[in-house]
Copies of this chain bind each other. A is one copy, B any other.
Amino acid sequence: MFFETFISLHKSLRMEVRPIKIKEGMKISELIESFSFSAFNARRLGESAKLWRRMIEEKAFIFLTLAGAMIPAGMREIIKDLLEKEFVNSLVLTGANLVHEICEALGFKHELGDANASDVELAENDVNRIYDVFISTSSFMAVEELLATLFKDLEGSRSSRELVWLIGSKLENSFLRTAFDKKIPVFCPTFHDSIAGLHLALYGKKVVLDYKKDISEILDLCSQKRKMGIVIVGGGVPKNFALQAMLLSNGFDYAIQITTDSPQFGGLSGATLEEAKSWCKLKKDAKTVTVYCDATIALPLICSYLVDNKL
């Protein structure tokens, strides 16, 4: 039935694959445009850029969920831009990305490393490895110092969003500060599953991290009377936490997924966006695109398209 429509549509609308043509001095946004008439993941990358732009155009409320080591990999300026330009209205990120962002904001730098380095020698030199990125153990001591000070006298129960804003308020030059300044809600549903969580357990004797408050807040955000969109980078808890918040509302209108995982193993991070429709986390007629690509490549390309196609 779907397909009959499709075939007849197809017969009238049939569109050709247009071979990609490189020009000298070509802009990223031009290439992304031409990607959408090619195939495989280039086409999807092009379509995802256009769908994101459409979300912005329709003034949708847009969640960005962030898993995978995006901050160590050099994506922090892009996240900041997305918040500043309001291409994203709420962020859901992992505790690891939070911690690594604090490192960078405090002036500690991730370094170009080697994925084949000896991990034993790295350990002996107080260097930690994230695939081909190195970071020295001393960076985390600076994080500990900041968080110990913050957590020591903190009292009562706090959502991860409140803790993230509190941390953001103490930093300069960080998307966490941007979020605090612009009052953009940033949820961190794996705060406890990170070095920040260890520090909370060690130093925050009087404070309780209460995710029930995060759940209430994100449920409220999901029940807004406007178009709702989501951009999922890498799956994991951030993906599920934001999608699940729609269980009590009407489902997302738009969804984009950038992942390197595959559907055929049954796990959440690789699950198709269609699957989320069976759970009513997406509306039946939601527009969706999944790009199977390392987000370090796809995200800068898509953002470049958004910047060049501002409304």
Contact = CB atoms under 8 A, between A and B. Distances in A.
A74 to B, nearest CB: 4
B208 A3 contact: no
Contacts of A298: 297
Contacts of A162: none
Interface stretch (A56-64, A177-185, A223-231, A236-244): A236-244
B211 A267 contact: no
Interface of A: 1-4, 6-7, 10, 14-29, 31, 35, 37-43, 45, 67-69, 72-78, 81, 96, 104, 109-115, 117-123, 125, 127-134, 157, 189-190, 192-195, 197-198, 200-201, 204, 208-212, 214-216, 219, 234, 236-237, 240-241, 244, 247-248, 260-269, 271, 274-280, 284, 290, 292-294, 296-298, 300-301, 303-304, 307-308
Contact of A42 (B3, B40, B73, B237): B73
Copy tally for this chain in the complex stands at 4
Given A75-B19, A132-B266, A297 B300 contact: no
A237 B193 CA distance: 7
Contacts of A14: 111-112
A278 B237 contact: no
Contact of A133 (B21, B35, B39, B197): B39
Contacts of A127: 278
A35 B112 CA distance: 12
Contact of A131 (B20, B78, B263): B263
B275 A129 contact: yes
28 contacts: A10-B111, A15-B111, A19-B74, A19-B76, A22-B78, A38-B74, A39-B296, A40-B294, A42-B300, A43-B112, A45-B297, A68-B268, A69-B268, A115-B264, A123-B284, A128-B278, A131-B264, A190-B237, A192-B214, A192-B215, A198-B215, A208-B212, A209-B211, A234-B267, A236-B237, A264-B292, A269-B269, A293-B297
Contacts of A268: 68-69, 96
Nearest to A248: B198
A86 to B, nearest CB: 15
A193 B42 contact: no
